[in-house]
Amino acid sequence: KAGVTQTPRYLIKTRGQQVTLSCSPISGHRSVSWYQQTPGQGLQFLFEYFSETQRNKGNFPGRFSGRQFSNSRSEMNVSTLELGDSALYLCASSMDRDNYGYTFGSGTRLTVV
Amino acid sequence: AQRVTQPEKLLSVFKGAPVELKCNYSYSGSPELFWYVQYSRQRLQLLLRHISRESIKGFTADLNKGETSFHLKKPFAQEEDSAMYYCALSGGGNKLVFGAGTILRVKS
């Protein structure tokens, strides 16, 4: 079956702009989580959605937001981009709260210039 | 607070030597522990989870609650094991706290 699909793979944006990243989970997976990966901070949890509801949120400013649709696809949005937002953004899906283990996508590489 | 510590940024071993990647955690409850691996130019993938008590690609990890550790071990390293390894903790709910990662280099 298809894995977790993230689009686009690469993005270049300028400071102050906003960006939307998309994630399609594995079919049947209802939990979608987002992570930011940077060389300095490593992998950090952004938020998790389950059945269109945000269940968990990490310690990121309100400029970072997300949503989940009825088909479990998810988007995350970053507004008023800063240089420090340059990172690899990873999406992960799993079946439910029981932690069977996440399946990660290949990520979206965001560069803010 | 939930925290995962991987004390080694880089571990270099010879092919056929034993491998132990260290992971210590801080969590007051009963955590779920995982090891994830990222091979060069590939996506992050689950290697094993403690609750399964399984062995994947010859790797095992035992949760030691007394020492709050979840070290990853393999008796004989292979060159294809070279990768970045992340230890991760879940304290409930689908939120993972990752360690900084350890690069494993297996030399021939």
* Digit-coded pLDDT (tens) for A19-29: 999 999 999 99
Q: Which residues in chain A have Cβ-Cβ distances shorter than 8 Å to B46?
A: 101-103
For residues A33 and A102, the answer to whether their CB atoms sit within 8 Å is yes
Model confidence band, residue A1 (pLDDT cutoffs 50, 70, 90): low
Q: What is the pLDDT of residue A70?
A: 95
Q: Does B34 touch chain A (CB under 8 A)?
A: yes
Model confidence band, residue A99 (pLDDT cutoffs 50, 70, 90): low
Q: Which residues in chain B have Cβ-Cβ distances shorter than 8 Å to A97?
A: 93-94
Cα(A87)–Cα(A75) distance, rounded to whole angstroms?
A: 16
Say yes or no to pLDDT of A91 above 90: yes
More confident site: B31 or A60: A60
Cα(B9)–Cα(A11) distance, rounded to whole angstroms?
A: 29
Q: Which residues in chain A have Cβ-Cβ distances shorter than 8 Å to B1?
A: none
CA-CA distances (angstroms) from residue B35 to A59, A113, B52, B86, B101?
A: 23, 34, 12, 6, 10
Identify the CA nearest to A23 among candidates A54, A45, A49.
Answer: A49
CB contact under 8 A, B46 and A56: no
Cα(A24)–Cα(B59) distance, rounded to whole angstroms?
A: 30
Cβ pairs A/B, distance under 8 A: 54
Model confidence band, residue A98 (pLDDT cutoffs 50, 70, 90): low
CB contact under 8 A, B93 and A43: no
Nearest to B94 among A43, A48, A106 (CB): A48
Q: What is the pLDDT of residues A42-55, one digit of tens each?
A: 999 999 999 999 98
Q: What is the pLDDT of residue A97?
A: 61
Nearest to A45 among B49, B51, B95 (CB): B95
Cα(B101)–Cα(B92) distance, rounded to whole angstroms?
A: 22
CB contact under 8 A, A94 and B97: no
